[in-house]
Amino acid sequence: MKTKRVSIKDIAQKVGVSNATVSLVLNGKEEEGRIRKEVAAKVLQAAKELNYEPNNFARGLRMGRSNTIGLILADISNSFFAHIAFYIQEYADEYGYSVIITNTNESGDKMGKMINVLKSHQVDGFIIVPTEDGEEDIRELIDQKTPVVLLDRYFPHLPVSHIVVNNYHASFEATNLLLDSECQNIALLIYNNKLAHMTDREKGYREALVKRNYYKPELVKKITYNTIEEDISTAIKSLLLEQPKVDGIFFATNTISAIGIKELLKQHVRIPEDIKVVCFDKNEAFDFMPFQIPYVQQPIQEMSRKSVDILMEQIKQSSAIPTTMEMFASMSNKS
Amino acid sequence: MKTKRVSIKDIAQKVGVSNATVSLVLNGKEEEGRIRKEVAAKVLQAAKELNYEPNNFARGLRMGRSNTIGLILADISNSFFAHIAFYIQEYADEYGYSVIITNTNESGDKMGKMINVLKSHQVDGFIIVPTEDGEEDIRELIDQKTPVVLLDRYFPHLPVSHIVVNNYHASFEATNLLLDSECQNIALLIYNNKLAHMTDREKGYREALVKRNYYKPELVKKITYNTIEEDISTAIKSLLLEQPKVDGIFFATNTISAIGIKELLKQHVRIPEDIKVVCFDKNEAFDFMPFQIPYVQQPIQEMSRKSVDILMEQIKQSSAIPTTMEMFASMSNKS
DNA sequence: AAGTATAAATAAAACGTTTAAGCAACTTTT
DNA sequence: AAAAGTTGCTTAAACGTTTTATTTATACTT
């Protein structure tokens, strides 16, 4: 059996004061509670001796706050999100907040479920990387006045704080990079996903090409998350048959990049001699290729920090109006 | 302001019964509480209508349990651990438990801190990937009879449940793989780390070589976690000067592998023609190399499952004796 | 000397659950 | 018909905090 916990009452008894006094001291409210220094010292001393640890249940019950935020990620085993988790935890800690991390695996059902799990833990707010069909769940949260910040993705018609990179702009730039290196037949591999961050990426690609009159709809290949391997393999093979020959490919996510490049190598395509490649987000694997792969670099750290900052703002004054923050990505090859 | 939460009392009022009745029904204790079906139905109905969500603080306070476990990882951005996090969450969920994930970044200080954070959240138990200097912290947990399971690493003299792969055996096998492909001068790059899982790996390597009389202490290079890049670069360069020429390298972790191979490529070493390589743990990057890299494959999924199972056992009956589970890794090239 | 301000501490309620114990009102057993 | 058991529900305490309102003691004004 766990040894019985020591409570405020035990300290009070030992020092010979009331519960209230102990609580006041322990919370550093000696000033407003006007506790004598000597008493405060004795209380702290006793607390140390008894090895007191506050009971968060009681505190949470009483205060209605948990000092915990819920972080809902789409795929924790994707290094992009893993890093986000890392930083968010770091920054939340600075505010004295802990983070409960959960994972949806891009499933909307699971997102709803995770929201409930976290709600039942009385988190004070959410940072969410929402799934495609998660709009309704988010709307519910907003209706309940729950502080929530969306990260990486957003719903254009939902009045909710979100931190995203300007995906349109980043993709525009990335595509231009290919154009600037003489590519004329540039393909896009992108998720078949209605979320704005994805459609923005496609738009950036398209407009860059349209501007130079190089846009060819048949070079846009849509990938389904659940059949990603086959879809990419099929797409690449089909692209290799195109005439005129495809000379550039823009991969719209790091997972697509990884699998796509693997497939290109398998088909003995030389990068960048035969086909030049640009990716969205870094992939560890890039370091190991005998060629350099330019990629869109999202400011993960700043995005994480901002999302924590904004959430804290919302928690503090839950009437806060939604804050939208759009950041700019940079290309890895110029920095 | 958040709309006021609906509590059991509200349901009781609406249906016209007592708190106790509602609680009993909500917890599925209608049988032992002997509540009539019709009343139970009305309560459930009302709960749904009012959109009732239980207050975990109150429940936790009363019950002394949180139905939450704390997961402390050494490095969440390492894909090995990220996957562990993923699976553990999955399995804990099956038990009706949530998981709070935290990260130590291999720092012992931080591990102590994280334990406290999680304790203050009243987690019912811990799954920990301990840091090198974390033995004392773990011992404290044991002394307090806190259910805890170590994962991936362990302290041989600590009576605590742990799930690990047989690192000795795996390394022995891995080294043999190089020996079997005619290597005679096989180097090892490994962390300068006293944790048993590391020393076991070294031992496996050593004994495989000693057995064939190929062991050369100067081919073992120790890497410090905090200066990993320089150390590996130095080590590789030094190894390339050895006579007779090094013809095989065993990298003892996936991070070391990644950086090590990068350095080899930088030095224009051809793999596997000049030097054959074997790694501990998979690295995503391996998929992209024009050559195949054999690696030790830990049964991540089973390890995760077992650690959850065992922790649950410990939580249920806190008198449970520590369970040690040693699993066997396989080589990636035969499966 | 009486009144008033200030300092230092306390009492007690409240947060929302769970659950042991209790109490009617029946039903069965003796 | 009294005793014993069963059924169905309620009462009330307890979990450990925080915090408002209150009390007591002391110091300062007039």
| Residues of chain B contacting A58 with CB distance shorter than 8 Å | 57, 61
Find where tokens 């009159």 sit. A213
**How far is the C-alpha of B182 from the C-alpha of B200, rounded, in Å?**
24
Long-range contacts: A265-270, Cβ < 8 Å, 24+?
A265/B288, A265/B290, A267/A236, A267/A237, A267/A240, A269/A240
pLDDT digits (tens, 9 = 90+) for B60-107: 999 998 889 999 999 887 889 989 999 999 999 899 898 888 888 888
Decide if B89 touches A, using CB distance below 8 A.
yes
Q: Are A77 and B55 an interchain contact pair (Cβ–Cβ within 8 Å)? A: no
Q: What is A190-216 written as a DSSP string?
A: EE---SHHHHHHHHHHHHHHHHTT---
- Phi-psi map region of A288: left, alpha, beta (phi>0 left; psi -120 to 50 alpha): alpha
pLDDT digits (tens, 9 = 90+) for B24-69: 999 988 777 689 999 999 999 999 999 998 999 999 999 998 889 9
Measure in Å the smallest separation between the Cα of B105 and chain A Cα atoms.
9
- For residue B230, count CB atoms less than 10 angstroms from its CB and return exposed for 0-12, middle for 13-18, buried for 19 or more: exposed
pLDDT digits (tens, 9 = 90+) for A195-224: 999 999 999 999 999 999 999 999 999 999
Measure in Å the smallest separation between the Cα of B240 and chain A Cα atoms.
19
Q: What is the dihedral of CA B90, B94, B97, B98, to 10 degrees?
A: 30
Report the footprint of strand D: residues with C-beta closer than 7 angstroms: A 4-5, 7-9, 19-20, 23-24, 26-27, 29, 52-55, 57-59, 61-63; B 16-21, 24, 33-36, 39, 58, 61-62
Q: Residue A157, CB, less than 7 Å from strand C?
A: no
Q: Are A61 and B55 an interchain contact pair (Cβ–Cβ within 8 Å)? A: yes
Q: What is the mean pLDDT of chain B?
A: 91
Find where tokens 């050369």 sit. B216
In chain A, what percentage of residues exceed pLDDT 70?
A: 98
Q: Are A55 and B68 an interchain contact pair (Cβ–Cβ within 8 Å)? A: no
- What's the DSSP call for residue A66? -
- The answer to whether the beta carbons of residues A188 and A219 sit under 8 Å apart is yes
Please name which of A248, A256, A246 lies closest in space to residue A222, comparing C-alpha atoms.
A256
Mean pLDDT within B142-164: 94
pLDDT band with cut points at 50, 70 and 90 for residue B1: very low
- The answer to whether the beta carbons of residues B329 and B299 sit under 8 Å apart is yes
Decide if A265 touches B, using CB distance below 8 A.
yes
Find where tokens 């509602």 sit. B22
Q: Are B122 and A86 an interchain contact pair (Cβ–Cβ within 8 Å)? A: no
Q: Are A145 and B3 an interchain contact pair (Cβ–Cβ within 8 Å)? A: yes
- Record the tokens describing residue A26, joined without a space: 């322990």
Q: Tell me, what's the pLDDT at A2?
A: 47
A116's enclosing H/E stretch is helix A108-120
**3-state SS assignment for residue B175:** helix
Q: Are A3 and B146 an interchain contact pair (Cβ–Cβ within 8 Å)? A: no
**How far is the C-alpha of B312 from the C-alpha of B309, rounded, in Å?**
5
pLDDT band with cut points at 50, 70 and 90 for residue B3: low
Q: Within 10 A of A266 (CB to CB), how many other CB atoms are there? A: 11
pLDDT digits (tens, 9 = 90+) for A25-44: 999 887 776 788 889 999 99
**How far is the C-alpha of B227 from the C-alpha of B255, rounded, in Å?**
12
pLDDT band with cut points at 50, 70 and 90 for residue A334: low
Q: Tell me, what's the pLDDT at B109?
A: 86
pLDDT digits (tens, 9 = 90+) for A95-117: 989 888 888 888 888 899 889 88
- For residue A229, count CB atoms less than 10 angstroms from its CB and return exposed for 0-12, middle for 13-18, buried for 19 or more: exposed
Decide if A144 touches B, using CB distance below 8 A.
yes
Q: Tell me, what's the pLDDT at A1?
A: 41
Mean pLDDT within A165-180: 96
Residues in contact with B34: Cβ distance below 8 Å, sequence separation at least 6, in sequence order? none
pLDDT band with cut points at 50, 70 and 90 for residue A171: very high
Please name which of A119, A122, A152 lies closest in space to residue A137, comparing C-alpha atoms.
A119
pLDDT digits (tens, 9 = 90+) for A67-104: 899 999 998 878 899 899 989 999 998 998 988 888 88
Please name which of A171, A149, A196 lies closest in space to residue A305, comparing C-alpha atoms.
A149
Strands B330-331 and B295-297: antiparallel
**3-state SS assignment for residue A52:** coil
pLDDT digits (tens, 9 = 90+) for A282-303: 988 887 777 889 999 999 999 9
Single-letter code of the amino acid located at B46: A
- Record the tokens describing residue B82, joined without a space: 């990220």
Cα first-last separation, chain B? 58
In chain B, what percentage of residues exceed pLDDT 90?
A: 75
Of residues A174 and A119, the one with the higher pLDDT is A174
Mean pLDDT within B180-199: 95
Cα first-last separation, chain A? 58
**Residue ranges of the alpha helices (H) in B212-333?**
228-240, 254-266, 300-316
- Phi-psi map region of A130: left, alpha, beta (phi>0 left; psi -120 to 50 alpha): beta
Long-range contacts: A223-231, Cβ < 8 Å, 24+?
A223/A189, A223/A190, A223/A191, A223/A192, A223/A256, A224/A191, A224/A192, A225/A106, A225/A191, A225/A193, A228/A255, A228/A256, A228/A259, A229/A259
Q: Tell me, what's the pLDDT at A286?
A: 82
For chain B, how big is the Rg over CA atoms in Å?
26
Find where tokens 């949260």 sit. A141
Single-letter code of the amino acid located at B207: E
**How far is the C-alpha of B231 from the C-alpha of B84, rounded, in Å?**
28
Please name which of B120, B131, B119 lies closest in space to residue B197, comparing C-alpha atoms.
B131
Interface contacts A/B by beta carbons within 8 Å: 134
Q: Does residue B187 have a pLDDT over 70?
A: yes
| Residues of chain B contacting A92 with CB distance shorter than 8 Å | none
- Record the tokens describing residue B333, joined without a space: 């090239």
**3-state SS assignment for residue A267:** coil
Angle made by CA atoms B175, B181, B185, in degrees to the nearest 5: 60
Q: Tell me, what's the pLDDT at A3?
A: 55
